[in-house]
Chain A
Amino acid sequence: MNGHDWLAAQKETRDLWPRRFLGALRAGLADGEAEVWLPEFTRRFRNRVPDFAGAGLFATLARVEGMETRELADYIIGHVYLALRRNQPREEAAFVDYVRRCVRSVAVTMRRQSLDSVHRAAARDGELQILSLDEHPALLEALAGHDPDAAAQLSGQRVVVYLLAQAERDGQRENVEIVLRTTLDDMALADIARERGVSRQAIAKRYQRGMAYLQAHREAAFGGSTQ
């Protein structure tokens, strides 16, 4: 066997399920037919839901909703499947990424709905809604530098409140807000630029300044525990 033979063999067995599924979606799934595609859709994506949703957010949802991991993943997949039937992706190449974004969107919506009004009011700081940094371990760990234990030991909420207060005093509040909104609210820089009526480059610069500010203040935010 040579490289050409191997490649030909792989192409013969390449995964065509996403294309077949998209074709069926475009043709419009009848009620009975929808049940035919759902099991394979679930099997494919169940294990990826925590990653697509964000591991921390998924864990928080499981705790708050009192659901088992598999039960919650299937619940989210059910919503995504409905969304796909209503509004299928336009391009074949973007199918899996579209599913990823749908999963994230369903998870964020679920979390927002699960915050009661009192909690929501407490979490809202000006225009910035903080779901909680605990639900975004990647950002928390980025802020904690190379010390994952510091991130594990601290409440993300406490870190965010501290950083925002400090940034306010240093005149960096807007820059830090942009970083947090892109991460915590999953907002694109372009959307923030549109909302404020400024260029994307201007927001990107503010984002960079905000990130640099956060990195410079992480030791203080984590109580000096990062070394």
Chain B
Amino acid sequence: MSDDHEVRGLNLVRPGAESNPRVARIREQLRANDAWNKNEPDAAEPPTVSAVRRRAEQLLAQRLYEDAEDTFLEAIEVGLRENHFCWQAALNIVNCRLFLRRLDEADRGAAGLLQMFETRPDHPVHYLAATQRGAIAAERWGMDHDPENAQAALGWAQRAYDWQRTYRAYADGLRAYNVIVALLRLDRRAEALETYRRHDGDDDFQTWCRQGEHAADIAQLTAE
């Protein structure tokens, strides 16, 4: 059983279970990799592209980011020859760069994707790339503690959250968790608590709160 299998199945996470460090690590990988969690399948993807994209995803799952990036680029090239833009591969190129802490290139790539899809506001690229830009801003904040980066992280987290509420009727656990973490970064605890209460009954959200990397901060928030 591989990490990849577990990520897709997510059957190791149960509400009420104790935190499992290995599962927590897998879920952290998933945080930045939700593009390849089959949540947003691309029905129009030609089989020739799928084969290359899957190969690249396997490299990504093995944390061979440099090789994965090259293979995702290849998937996009193959797709363009058939008039198809493999946006899942594009999102994962951003992920590869994020994981290698090549933050400027990652951010430019995500910004380019948002620009490319601006005439299709209902496309899932909008919330997936916004989630990535939020993670990039948070990473920058982690390096310099510049409040502007904390503010940017909140802006992107909120944008992903709002997109899901607009187009999917509700925001999923990860988007809500990201908003709360971004609010806590800015010490806006009352708003964080309000958002927490809004999602309190969502098992997926609770799992993130208990097993995400900011679990201790959120536990403290809810105990106040």
Q: Residues of A at under 8 Å CB distance from B?
A: 1-7, 9-11, 13-15, 18, 43-44, 48, 51-52, 55, 93, 95-97, 100, 137-138, 141-142, 146, 148-149, 152
From known contacts A10-B93, A141-B1, A148-B23, infer whether A15 and B73 are also in contact, taking CB-CB under 8 Å.
no
A7 and B80 within 8 A (CB):
yes
Tell me the nearest residue of chain B to A18, going by C-beta. Answer: B66
Q: Shortest distance in angstroms between A154's beta carbon and chain B's nearest beta carbon?
A: 14
A15 and B67 within 8 A (CB):
no
Which residues of B, 1-24, contact A by the 8 Å Cβ criterion?
1-3, 11-12, 17-18, 20, 22-23
A149 and B17 within 8 A (CB):
yes
A100 and B80 within 8 A (CB):
no
In the assembly, what is the distance between CA of A2 and CA of B108, in Å?
15
Residue B112 contacts which of A9, A44, A96 (CB distance < 8 angstroms)?
A: A9
A48 and B116 within 8 A (CB):
no
Chain A interface, >50% SS class:
helix
Count residues of chain B with CB under 8 A from any CB of chain A: 38
B73 and A100 within 8 A (CB):
no
Which of B37-45, B57-65, B135-143, B146-154 touches A?
B57-65
B116 and A14 within 8 A (CB):
no
For this complex, 9 residue pairs linking A to B, each with C-beta atoms less than 8 Å apart, are A3-B76, A3-B79, A7-B76, A7-B80, A10-B109, A48-B63, A97-B64, A146-B11, A146-B12
In the assembly, what is the distance between CA of A7 and CA of B84, in Å?
12
A137 and B105 within 8 A (CB):
no
Residue A14 contacts which of B18, B25, B70 (CB distance < 8 angstroms)?
A: B70
The 4 lowest CB-CB distance pairs between A and B, nearest first, are: A3-B85, A142-B1, A96-B64, A13-B105
In the assembly, what is the distance between CA of A14 and CA of B90, in Å?
13
Which chain B residues lie closer than 8 Å to A9 at the CB level?
Answer: 108-109, 112
Q: Shortest distance in angstroms between A55's beta carbon and chain B's nearest beta carbon?
A: 6
Residue B30 CB within 8 A of the other chain: no
B69 and A14 within 8 A (CB):
yes
B112 and A6 within 8 A (CB):
yes
Which chain A residues lie closer than 8 Å to B2 at the CB level?
Answer: 138
Which chain B residues lie closer than 8 Å to A149 at the CB level?
Answer: 17-18
Residue B100 CB within 8 A of the other chain: yes
